[in-house]
Structures are given as C-alpha cells and as structure tokens.
Structure 1
Amino acid sequence: MHGSKESSNYTVAVLGLGAMGLPIAGRLAGRFTVSGYDINAGRRQLASDAGVTAHPSARSAAAGADAVLLAVRNAEQLRASLFGDDGVAAVLEAGAVVIVTSTVGREAIPDVVGQLSEFGVDLVDAPLSGGPKRAGNGDLLIVVGAEPAVLAKVRPVLDHLASTLTVVGDKPGNGQALKTVNQLLCGVHIAAAAEALALADALGLDQDKALAALESGAAGSFMLSNRGPRILEAYTADGAEVLSRLDIFVKDLGIVGDAARSTGLAAPVAAAAEQLFLLGQAQGLGLADDSAVIRVVAPGKRATRRGDGRGPEIIG
C-alpha cells in the first residue's frame, strides 16, 4: 500500500461508472475509501447506493486521491478525463497513480505517460476482462504493464478486483498489447457463436438444446457459454440485457486491425468478425448488447415450427 496508509484510508477515485466502472467502484468501496464520477447523474446515484462517495465533477472526485481508476470508453475519453476541461491530472498530487482499465490500444499510452510525468503522476496499464458480474465479485482477468515500483503502489487495489492478475511487462502499453490479443479472440468467438446458433436454427434445431450440447463438447468456450443465452434473447422485444455494447467491439476490433497492420500481420478472421459488428452498428444495433450480432447473420428468426412436416416457418 502506498506509504503507510491502511486500506480504509487509501483513496481511489473511479472515473466512469458504466457497466464495468460501477461494479468496480462498489467492489473497491468494501475495502478502500472510494469516490466516483460519471457524467450520468443516475449512475452517480447508483454508485452512492453502493457505498461510493459520488461527486459532481471528475476533478472533485479525484482531488487528493492516491489512485485514479479510469473505466472509460476509448483513447479520446482517456485523454479528456486526464487533460480536458475537467481533466484530473491537474488536481492529482505527485506520487499518485492513474490506473487505465479500458481497452484503448497500445499506441495511446506513451503520450499519456509523458504528459502525466509532468505532474509527477505515474500510470499503470491494466486493462481488464470478465464482465460486470465478475467485476463485482473480484473475479476479473487483469493484464498489467507497469514499472514494478509503480505497480506495487496499487497492487492491493488490483488484487481486490482480480482472480487472475498477469504482469506481462514492466512498460505501460504491454497490458494494452495483450488485451488487444484477448479482444481478437473475444470478438471472433462472439461472432462465431452467433453464426453457429443461427445455423442451428436454420437447420431446424432447437437452439437451446443445441447450445447446451455445444457447451459440453469440444466446441465449448467461455464466450459461447456467456453470450449464448443472450444471443438467443436477441430477437425478443427488448433484446438481451446490455452488458457489453455491440459498438464496443467495433472499437476493439478496430484496435486489433490497427495493431495487426502496424506489424504487417494478416488477421483475416478478426477482419471478418469486425465487418459483422460494423454491419450491426450500421443497422442501428450499436447500443444493443453485442449478442445482437446474430441479427446481422440472420435478420429473421425461426420462431415457430410447422406441424405439417413442411419444416420451419420463417418469421421476420
């Protein structure tokens, strides 16, 4: 722990109280002194209900914090949160640490590190994966790139959030690099799961039974089990509960493509998955759960079965 502070006196500001930031803040509030900010007043109220001290601005939340954990959408929001009109870098004390948990891409990190150093503030590159439920239970995968002495300051914070914490290098940006690889697989797996369940339906199979069978065999994967039930809800009136927006994978697979091109590496499978998510966004599904990508593969749903031996009836 930084200095000689006890956990209860160690202050963490969580900026961004969305699907991941809110359960993260609630989890940390059980051990640390946690303040939080989100542009949405409703999210601030939910954070307050979870034991987080909600603030009306990012700067007031971060002032005097030992660590600032950023759960923002992209590199632009990262820079705005730190150096924009309400940017918090100016109110952080020397020795404070910024923890970047978002997937922003490796290329975004060096400039941010350089600018923070002018304030005497360090950065830990710690993108995470696992979803809101696992965030609230401290069951996240976190991959870290940071100088060892800097990581040591915030290790108790990360350990409280992670069931698996892997230090992949001592340079900020290393965490983003591995998270980019992770997102390649996640995006491809979601797209493949949607395509597989659409094919099961097109072949006249019961999708619930098909999903259960696939999960138990060699074709099973975390993403199939996690997204499969939500994929099957994609055609309901409200769709699946939004736990990970479709447009997040437009952003993440864009980062994957940029990284692959920067190294001269072909990534045709990732590119194909990216096109599905881009089509979904173009069709107005960007704010839907990413499981809605099945509606790109199969816009209509085989919702009923004929009883006359002529096969399934297409609806939609």
Structure 2
Amino acid sequence: MAATQSIPTPVGLLGLNGLALSMVYDLLSNPNYDVRIYDNTKALEKTRISDLGGTFCQHPKDLAADVAYLICFAGKSELEALFFSRDSSVLEVLLCSIMDTNFYNALEDHISRLGRSDLLFVDSPVSASPTNGTKVDMVVFAAGQQEALGRSSSLLHDISDQWFMIPGPLGSASKMQLIHQMLVGLHISAATEAISFAIKQGLDPFEVYNIVKTTTGSSRVFEACVPKVLDNWTVDPLLENLADDLSLITSISRSLQFPLPLSGVAEQLCRKGTTQATLKDKYGYANLMRNHSPDFPLDANTHHGSESLSSQLDGIVLDNRKFPISTIGVVGLGAIATEIATSLLRAGYAVQGYGISERTLPIEGNYLPAQSLAEAVRGTQVLIISVQSAAQVDAILFGQEELMKNLSDNTIIIISSMVPSSYMRALSDKLRHLRGDISLLDAPMGDWTTNTTNGTLNIMLSGDDCTIRKVQTLLLAMAKDISNLKLVQGGIGAASSINLINQILAGIHIAGAAEALSFAARLGLDPNIVFDVLVNTSAWSYMLENRGPQILDADWTPISPLSTFIKAAGIFIEEARQLQLFCPLSSTTNTLYTAVAANGWEDEADAGVVRFWELLTGVSVANSVLEAAQSCISRAES
C-alpha cells in the first residue's frame, strides 16, 4: 500500500517587505506549506515567487479564505479591514508588524463583538538577526493565548532560527521587539562611529575590528556587521526598516513622555543613512558609514588583521645581553600602577616606585620606594608611567624635577595611561629632539578583554618593533599571557586610539543597556525577562551581559567608575573634533554620564548611569524587577 502524501498547510502572507520576502522563500522551500500572498505593490520578486510555487491573491479576503495561518506584515488600517470582516475564516493570526497595546485591546474588543471565538491571535514581531555569514537569521518574539502559541509553535519554528515566548498579553512581544531593535540600532550606530574614528586616525579598520571584537567594547552587531560594512556588502536587517522601527520607538517614548536620548540619535543616523543610500546599497548598513566618512569605501585593496606579539617580532633578532633589564621605575597612582609593580615584582624584577603605597602591594619583593622622581628613575633601564592624564605625564617628564636629565642612557619609557593618540605622537617627536637615545612605547593598560581574570593586565601596544623586542619579557610578565597583549600596527598613538575606541564602545553599550532596560520597565515588561532574552539575541553586547545584573540589582559597587568613561569620552570627542569627525552618539552618551556624575556619583559604578531615567521619570529598573518577582509569588500562592 502506497504511503499517503500529506496535504501542505496553507499559509497566507499579507504584505511583502524585506523581512517578508526572506520568510516567503524559506516557506516555499518547505514542502509542508502552501504559500499564498497578497501585496498591493509592484514587487519585482513576484515572477520568481510564482515560479517557485507561490500564489498571489487579488484581495485580502481571498488570501484569508481557508488558510490555517495568516502572517501579517501590513499596516494597521489593512489589518483592521481584514480582521473586522465577518466572512473571514482565519484560524490563527501571526501579527508580524510591530503594534502597540492599544491596537491589540481594540482588536480583541472588536473580535468579541463579532462573536468570532474561533480566531486565535499570536503577537509575533519578526527581527532579522545579522550573522557573520551571508545568511540573515530570523528571530521571532511571540506572546498570546497558550492555545494559539501551542498550535503555532511548529510554524514559528519553521520561519525563524530563534523564537522566544514572552509572558504577558498580546502586545508584550511587540514591546520586546521594540527593546531589541533599540539596542540593534544603537550598536550599529556606535560601531560605525567607532570605525570611522579609526579610519580618520589612519588605522587599518580591519585590524581594529579584529582587536575590538575580543574586548569589552564588542557586541554581536559589531562582530557580524563591521566586516561587511568595510567590504561594502549589503547587510540585513534592512536599514530602512530599522529606521522605521526606531521612529516608532521614539514616537511611543514621546507619547509616554519618556526620554530616549540615545535611541533618538540612532534613529536620526539611520534615517540619514537611508536618504544617502545609493541603488547599490539602499537596503544595507554599509551606507551608515557615510554619515561619518563621506569618502567611504576605502581605496585600499588589501588589509591585514592584528598579529600576535611573537609572530610579528619573530623576524627581529636581538642580543638582549646588550640591553639587560634588572631595575624598572614605576611612577603612578591607583590600581593599574599597583598591578604593574606587583606583576614585575612577581617576575623577579627590582622595582623603584614613586607614588605607589607599599600597603597596596599584595606581595613582597625587591621593591624600593623612591622619595623623588629622580630617585625613582636612577639606574633604571625602563620607566613605566601610569597616571591620570597627559598633563600629569608632562609634569613628570618635563616638570621642575627635570626628570629627563636623570634618565639613564637608552632608557625605554612606557606610557600606560589613557591619553590622546595625538598627544602620544607629539610626545614621541619631543623626546626624539631632546634625547635621541630615549625610546617610547605606547601601551595603555587596563581590564578590557572579554576573558580577563581578576588581577590580569591587558595591554594595547604600539611603537618601534626593535624597542618592543627589548622589553618583550617584561611585557609578558605584566600581561601574564600573550593573549592579553595586543600589538597594534601604526606606530606611536595607534594603541591609544584603539584603547579609546574600546572605551567609547563599552560606555555607549552600558548606557544603551540602561536606556533599554529602563524603557522596558516603563512599558510594563519584566526587566529580568527582557535581559535574559536580549543576551541571547543580536542585541547582545559584552557590557549588557556584564553590567546588566548590576542595573537589575541596583548595585553600584564600581567595577569601573562613571568617571572613567567621562574621561575617555572627553578625550574621544576632542580627538574627533580635531579630525572633524561627526560623533553625536558619543557626545550624547557623555552628557548622560556627566548628568549622573553631577549628583555626586562619579566614583560609583558606570552602570549607575541608569539613574538618569530614574531621576527624570521615577521609573526604577530594580524596583520593576522586585515588583515582577512579587507578582509571580502572589500568582503561585493563589
């Protein structure tokens, strides 16, 4: 007896935007579905869709007849015309357009008046999730009645790479989609601003990408989209759709009188990108780069990635007997200077320290506290300076103590502070004229890689290769592992530039997470659930995952204080001004941090920037988490 062939399930699609087209082709490739479409535009894809077996209907009512599922990408008026007709025979409806709660309330009231209890609704907006490959994944957020979700689960699985069930009534998934799109828009805007800064600095943007994707400034959007932007590829989700989503978000925020300063900037950048789009890249993120770099793409035909310290220096052979290092001068204040001294003592070096409290050194060793700068550098082969600003570096090197006269011949100076790249280049020139035997390395240090353990220094490093070779062992002693040492091409100033790019991205991502979770709380969503969903989607960033728990718990113990980002942003914005670079997102983020710091919280956690929204609106993310937890307990007890 021959096996019976199952009858394909009829699925209707109302509207054909970019996301819908991707879904249509996926469904057409699945023999389990009979695809029917209504679209009142003259879509260029109609012939191809028909050739693949899709059927176009002449009227929305024809589309709705006898389908098991209706997937809607249409606007509100078209949906109302379709759903409020008595002769519709829809069984399940997937509302893939983003709608507000008022729409769903009106829809449910109208369906009730019509007596159509057979209709089941699922609120399931679709998001296109960028990936590292050429394919774009589809992500669906779904909310609604349990029966509707259960009967739709197989279709949801077939049309998406990921789908998330969002607790709550119809409209909850659309709210979740809003928050997701907020962060996607912010992250792509931040990425293009940062990469444009690198290009203006004369750095290889592909090398910058390879380094930053491993740092705390990384995001899933950065990882997936930047290489394609640099190669001028088109990338979904569509820029125009993203701009529309951000416009909806800012419109809703205005109606709620809830400020979204970062999302407002991202909306304007995306909208400007669509107006500048060419026919070639209209539907991609590539044209966003033109907001910052009008002459993009680059003329260079080749690019390289960052190299490890060992691979780049393998060709340089030195006789280190001619440059023995036994004593190192360390001048500085704070945790970084202490960690530098500790690492060197652990490795067996003698350290002459100035400004470092012996009480903060966790181990014993050959530590010689200096009473003056001159004493700190006397007889040393290497001087490491770790202070707060370029002005302090200048005061140490060229101040009243005339340190330059006390430096030994052929001393290597390592600047580990966060300073402008333009300052580092100027300092290199100045030292070359004053003391031609003195070498300089640009080596900002911190805790910025995504796999860092406590007490580990991460080092961005640029300078002359031969000089680096001389202190390679010393550098590895401080970094503990070669993976924590990033060698940057481009000479003095290049390392400071990439360190600054990482800092600005990390700061924007923290503020973006704070804005998104605050808005989620204002929309009535459980911030805990929102956080758990976002870290598993293309809205992920390292800082969202790392600082999100602090925001949820209102824990302002500083992993890094607000003041650190304010300092980094100030340097970035000034450097961008000198380069005539447009950086509205960095400027707006700096304003947020400064406003919060003005309340006396500059030494508390950078995640405390979320208090900007609490101060202005009274909405607390942490309180919303507590209220949601208490609500769950009450339901369980009842």
Same fold (TM over 0.5): yes
Which of residues 24, 40, 54 in structure 1 aligns to 2:340? 24
Compared with structure 1, are the counterparts of its residues 32 and 220 closer, same or farther at alpha carbon in structure 2 (3 Å cutoff)? Answer: farther
Shift of 1:306: 8.1
C-alpha deviation, 1:246, in angstroms: 1.2
1:189 to 1:2, Cα distance in 2 relative to 1, 3 A: farther
Which has the larger Rg? 2
2:513 to 164, 177, 193: 193
Alpha-carbon shift at residue 252 of structure 1 (Å): 0.9
Query: How do 1:78-157 residues align onto structure 2 when only pairs under 5 Å count?
Result: 78-86=393-401, 88-117=403-432, 118-119=434-435, 120-130=437-447, 134=452, 137-138=455-456, 140=458, 142-157=459-474
Shift of 1:125: 0.6
- CA displacement 1:62-92 (0-9 Å, x = unmatched): 3222212222111111112222245643322
Say if 1:307 and 1:123 are closer, same or farther in 2 by CA, change over 3 A.
Answer: closer
Equivalent of residue 47 in structure 1, options 361, 372, 376? 361
Uncovered stretches (5+) of structure 1, i.e. residues with no partner: 310-316
Gaps of 5+ in 2: 1-317, 632-638
Instruction: Say if 2:601 is the partner of 1:285.
Output: yes
Alignment partners' CA distance in 1, 2:561 and 2:422: 23
| Cα RMSD for the two superposed structures | 3.2
Contact preservation (8 Å) 1:247, 1:281: yes
Change (3 A) 1:181 1:32: same
- Corresponding position of 1:73: 388
> Contact 1:276/1:296 (CA < 8 Å) preserved in 2?
yes
**Within 5 A, what are the aligned runs for 1:296-307?**
296-299=612-615, 300=618, 301=620, 302-303=622-623, 304-305=626-627
Question: 1:24, 1:135 within 8 Å by CA — same for their partners in 2?
Answer: no
Whole-Å separation in 2 of the counterparts to 1:156 and 1:191:
38
Larger mean Cα displacement after TM superposition, 173-182 or 80-89: 80-89
Tell me which amino acid in the other structure corresponds to 1:53.
Y
* Distance in 2 separating the partners of 1:204 and 1:37: 54
Contact kept, 8 Å, 2:445 with 2:457, in 1: the verdict is no
Pairwise CA distance, 1:266: 0.8
Partners of 2:598 and 2:630 lie apart in 1 by: 38
Q: 1:163 aligns with which of 473, 483, 489?
A: 483
Contact 1:17 1:37 in 2 (8 A): no
Cα offset for 1:228?
2.5
Query: Quick one: percent identity of the two aligned structures?
Result: 28
Structure 2: distance between partners of 1:260 and 1:225:
29
**Amino acid in the other structure paired with 2:577:** R
Give the whole-Å Cα distance in 1 for the aligned partners of 2:543 and 2:388: 21
Number of aligned residues: 301
TM-score (norm 2): 0.43
Deviation per CA, 1:112-156: give whole Å up to 9, x if none: 22443324321101123425994865462x332211121212222
CA contact (8 A) 1:35 1:62 kept: no
CA distance in 2, matches of 1:28, 1:3: 18
Q: Which stretch has the larger CA shift, 12-21 or 256-265?
A: 12-21
Distance 1:4 1:276, change over 3 A: same
Partner of 1:180: 500
**Mapped contact 2:418–2:496 kept (Cα < 8 A):** yes
